[in-house]
Amino acid sequence: MSDYRDQNHEQNQGRENGSGQSGWTYYNGSQRPREERGANQYSSSNGWQEQQPQDQRPGQESYRWNYDDYDIPKNGGKRKNSGLVVFISIIAIVLVLGLVTVAGLGIYQLIGGAQQTQSGTESSEAMISGSSDYPSLSLNDKPEEDSAPSADGMLSTVEIVRQVRPSVVGVVVYDTSISRFSPTSEGSGIIISTDGYIVTNAHVVSGADAIKVVLDNDEEYEAQLVGLDTITDLAVLKIDADNLVAATFGNSDQIEVGETAIAIGNPGGLFNSVTQGIISAASRPVTTSDGTTTVYIQHDAAISPGNSGGALLNAYGQVIGINSAKIAADNYEGIAFAIPINEAEPIINQLIEYGYVRGRVRLGITVSEIDELVARLNDLPTGLYIEDIAQDSDLLNHGVQRFDIITAVEGEPVSSFADLSAILEDYSPGDEITLTIYRRGYYSQNDQTFDVTVELLEDTSGAVGTIQASPQSSSR
């Protein structure tokens, strides 16, 4: 019994000492008894000294530090160095594997790319050659043009533009009262002769101090104003050039509503722009603000500021009109007007020969309209209020004064520019005409109404019924 207790006591003592074993220490599968040591104390004179515990119980062995459990292996330093070597070796292997992988991928991509390129080339060649089983897109050159005209003589739009564009020019205007160094406006023109005569609109060049013409090949020339007519809004220029391409002119009396209309001009300075539409009306009367009624070709080819003076063409490449105006207002689109070439032809010829339109008459006065409302507000009769009288006017010889009112011409009442213009169209220079004059009496004088017969003058200035005049005044 005592032997069992002693053995059990030793086992418990081992557990109390925290070893978890019965006083045995294992080394490489063998066991040996632990060497019990007392507590140690260190002093600077004697070093480590073993101390006996003071509160040791009877029959209980004292706890001894087991140095063998903490002995550093003799080859511990070598272990530490070999671990560093292993770590570096692993890193090196990883780097080598990474480089090999990247190199392999690069080689694979090069080989694969070459194969894909070759495959793509073969595929493209197959598509172009039509050897593939899949449908393919085929590109073809334009067929060769047949130089022979169509049976009816009509040309395609491309042929028309190719033929006429060299005959359309840009007109650049300089007005030093507005700008000393920059152009003040731009328009278009049509070459009418190989030696440099060009037709354009009067409103394009009116008031210009200098005019420049730009040809289709970008050559520039200074132009001289030969003559202009503000009633028809036509002007003729001349440049010092030869061997120009003159336009071909057609017969505007033969046009029909619905046929092709092509406009070439320089809208916004975009030289030789081309638009296309149809003839909307062959003969459209339009009354301008000065009372002048002009017959226009109405069409819907797009025109903008800068198109004025440019060509309106038919399907044969012939100039049938000179673009002059459009309705530019909200809710209006595609309403453009061109001067019929049959109406423009005699005016152009006279401008070239005389510098003005012969046979036009004038009274030599500047007037304003007095309609019924203005007449009622001012207690005056309706008529034309004389604001100024020219020095060469025959009215001065018959006692007519400023602020008199013309109430009738040849017995017909007049209250607008249109009324007066319609009457004067039937007269020639040198003819006599009778005017009915109203003069208000001032102070103690009575109002007067009397007739005068005056001789009409020839208008050589081209300023009759000017478009630039105010709606309230005009020269006659």
- Report the catalytic residues: 203, 233, 308
For the chain, give the secondary structure using H, E and C: CHHHHHHHHHHHHHHHCCCCCCCEEEECCEEEECCCCCEEEEECCCEEEEECCCCCCCCCCCCCCCHHHHCCCCCHHHHHHHHHHHHHHHHHHHHHHHHHHHHHHHHHHHHHHHHHHHHHHHHHHHHHHCCCCCCCCCCCCCCCCCCCCCCCCCCCHHHHHHHHHHHEEEEEEECCCCCCCCCCEEEEEEECCCCCEEEECHHHHCCCCEEEEECCCCCEEEEEEEEEECCCCEEEEECCCCCCCCCCECCHHHCCCCCEEEEEECHHHCCCEEEEEEEEEEEEEEECCCCCEEEEEEECCCCCCCCCCCEEECCCCCEEEEEEEECCCCCCCCCEEEEEHHHHHHHHHHHHHHCCCCCCEECCEEEEEECHHHHHHHCCCCEEEEEEECCCCHHHHHCCCCCCEEEEECCEECCCHHHHHHHHCCCCCCCEEEEEEEECCCCCCCCEEEEEEEECEECCCCCCCCCCCCCCEEEC
Structure tokens at 295: 């017959």
Distance CA 38, CA 64 (A): 5
Given a contact cutoff of 8 angstroms between Cβ atoms, the answer to whether 229 and 235 are in contact is yes
Instruction: Provide CB contacts within 8 A for 208, sequence distance 6+.
Output: 173, 174, 175, 225
430 alpha carbon, distance to own chain's centre = 55
Length of the chain in residues, anyone? 476
CA distances from 430 to 46, 323, 391, 402, 427 (A): 156, 34, 17, 23, 9
Given a contact cutoff of 8 angstroms between Cβ atoms, the answer to whether 456 and 273 are in contact is no
Distance CA 358, CA 335 (A): 32
